[in-house]
Amino acid sequence: MTLRIKLLLVSLLTLALPWGGCQYAREMETALRAAEEQSLTAVARTMADSLQGRADLLYRGNSNDTMPPGELDLEAVPLAGSPFLDGYADEWPAVAPARKYFNQGKDRLGVLAGVHDRMLYLLLDVRDNKVVFDAQDADPLDPATFGDRLWLGFQDSDGAERQLFIAASSPGPVQARYIETRELSQHVAVEEPRITGAWQLKTGGYRVELRVPLAMLGERLGVLVDDRDSLGAAPKSYGSLQGADLRARGRLIAASPALADYLAQIAQPGLRLVVTTPAGALLASAIAPPTTTLQPRRNFLQRLYRNVLAGAGEHRTITASAAIHESGGRNAIGQLQIVQNTDRWLTLRDRALITLLNFTLVASLIAVIAMFAFAAHLALRLSRLRRASESALTRAGLVTTFPETNSQDELGDVARSFATLLGRLDEYTGYLRTLAGKLAHEIRTPLTIVRSSLENMESESPPSAAARPYLDRAREGSERLNAILVAMSAASRVEEAIAHTERSRFDLAAVIASAVAAYRMAFLQRQFTIAVPEQPLTMEGAPDLIVQLLDKLIDNAVDFSPPGSTIAVRLTREPNVARLDVENTGPTLAPENRSKIFESLWQSRLDGDSRPHFGLGLYIVRLIAEFHDGHATAQNLPDDAGVRFTIYFSLQSRQ
């Protein structure tokens, strides 16, 4: 991972500022919500107190007793509009707690009551695996023609019990009827035009939808199902009516028509008031729109901040409730609930938060950009140091000048330390470069004295047989030491010659061919093969140094190859370089020695070889190759038949 990426990742820590702003906004929102809930609770308590003892305002008729709803009571829910009487439930609200069920074996009656505009609506769901209609055009009071029927029993406004039935000969509109007794105890079925509805079949039964004026009803209301399996069969009756007289036993719990108007008068802007029975059945509700509205900002940042703050479950409303008691405050007759939508103050919060977070985001962005720019500048300075360190070692020696040495920071300290180190290394390499010449100069005089002394000893008196081996060894040692001095002097001269050689354009192929022709005359015990391009291979350099390089390679090949073997010389042209290969049979190179043979004073010859070899020939080859912007390599031939030395020369002209 680069330094720029690391610093960029560190700079991303500044994003903790917007995160901290969000956390602060969350805490502020929690505090505001708690304060708002307390205020709303106080308002709910005040409004509930205004309804204390006003059972007549909460409930219609005499259904204002504080007894909890019984199993037969029907709690009418407020309806948003008048349902269309078609026998379908798509216009009715899904309020499962307000629906009452009455079972008879596998059959069941479901009753849902609703109130709208001084009308009571009933949705009756009957589960019946066999629906039987009345006979067509039959007497509605003839038991032999009876099908499935519904009975409606209630107390009227005067407290008198009334019973009506609903029968149908086919799906469609229905009319409620009641039985009237006339002269001579004659019973007649009379239609009640104020109670109408619709009968509709459904899967596994039927559904009946009825409308009844609230003015007809008192406190009690009940429904009974007469289920028959065939025309005129005995009924299986079940529901909320009592006995043969069909007396209603359950209460009709419905809100007073004036309750909604009263709630609309006391409702405050932005609040929704809901009044329920103590059991939780809805009686009435009212909502007052806010006096002013704030249009939320619908940009990307606003939605992002809202999602960050809201999380998975932001509460968009605040609710407070208070019990409504009867006079004296003993029993509850209802429950008042206040619901406040938080969109307005959430919008105010979002506007303040956007200002805060925008500032922190801009600050974070500036910090990230500044950190990235600083990282890029730092990386550029480091790259200059890297390039300077990579190019510090040249053929002319060490480059001691280093960039960034004038900087007063830590990188400047590092650059100055490197410059000091390179200066010391340059002094040391200069010393090593001249060491061979100094040693040769210092050793030559003592060596001359030793040689002359040995010659004088041999000339003045013949040595004894016991002293002869020692004299021979001393002479041999002096000869080897003299050879070392000659080689060291030659290496020093080559280095100096390379440093002062002028470059020129010449044909490398012609130089190689001419040199190999001379080697055939000089080394008669070896065979030479040569392959050079037919076209001139022009390069820039020193042809004398090329011949000296080839001399060292041929001397090395002759030393390590057996008499009568072949030495192959091959020159080829490759992209931007010339390749010179010299191959000879004989001993191979150990893998660990391939990179060492081009070092100064290193050798791998066998101890049995009495000729002096001092590891300077291939070192000179490397120096001459580097002078021509190339390099030297060595590798074994296939099947370990010998060794191949490869020299690469650059064909590109220096500018």
Residues 248 and 182 sit within 8 Å (Cβ to Cβ): no
- Say which residue, 654 or 157, is predicted with more confidence: 157
Residue with tokens 């005040």: 46
Report domain extents, the chain: 3-59+257-356, 74-253, 417-500, 501-650
- Residue 50 Rama label (left phi>0; alpha psi -120 to 50; beta): alpha
Average pLDDT, the chain: 83
Q: Is residue 210 over pLDDT 90?
A: yes
Q: Tell me, what's the pLDDT at 101?
A: 92
What residues have CB less than 8 Å from 130, skipping those under 6 apart?
229
- What CA dihedral angle connects 448, 454, 459 and 465, to 10 degrees? -170
Q: Where is average pLDDT lowest: 73-82, 118-127, 371-380, 558-567?
A: 371-380
According to the CATH classification, is domain 74-253 in 3.40.50.300?
no
pLDDT tens, position by position, 44-81: 899 888 888 888 888 876 555 555 667 788 888 888 88
Residues 646 and 592 sit within 8 Å (Cβ to Cβ): no
| Stated length of the chain | 655
Q: Is residue 612 over pLDDT 50?
A: no
Other beta carbons less than 10 A from residue 65's beta carbon: 14
Q: Tell me, what's the pLDDT at 308?
A: 61
Top-level class of domain 501-650: alpha beta
Residue with tokens 């999602």: 307
pLDDT tens, position by position, 347-390: 766 677 777 777 877 887 888 788 878 888 888 888 888 888 87
- The DSSP bridge pattern shows strands 252-253 and 74-75 to be parallel
- Say which residue, 464 or 236, is predicted with more confidence: 236
What Å distances lie between residue 7 and 367, 383, 410, CA to CA?
11, 16, 17
Residues 144 and 233 sit within 8 Å (Cβ to Cβ): no
User: Span 417-500: which CATH code?
Assistant: 1.10.287.130
Dihedral sign from CA coordinates of 140, 144, 146, 152: positive
Top-level class of domain 3-59+257-356: alpha beta
CA dist., res. 595 & res. 482, Å (int): 28
Other beta carbons less than 10 A from residue 432's beta carbon: 10
Indicate the pLDDT class of residue 436, thresholds 50, 70 and 90.
low
**Helix/strand/coil (H/E/C) assignment for every residue in 513-557:** HHHHHHHHHHCCCCEEEEECCCCCCEEEECHHHHHHHHHHHHHHH
Q: Is residue 397 over pLDDT 70?
A: no
Phi/psi at 117 (5° precision): 50, 50
Residue with tokens 């991303």: 12
What Å distances lie between residue 220 and 63, 70, 174, CA to CA?
9, 12, 23
Tokens in use for 405? Answer: 């040495």
Q: Where is average pLDDT lowest: 52-56, 111-115, 495-499?
A: 495-499
Other beta carbons less than 10 A from residue 449's beta carbon: 10
Instruction: Tell me whether the CATH fold assigned to 3-59+257-356 matches the one assigned to 417-500.
Output: no
**Looking at the DSSP assignment, which residues form a beta bridge with residue 530?**
569
CA dist., res. 553 & res. 528, Å (int): 13
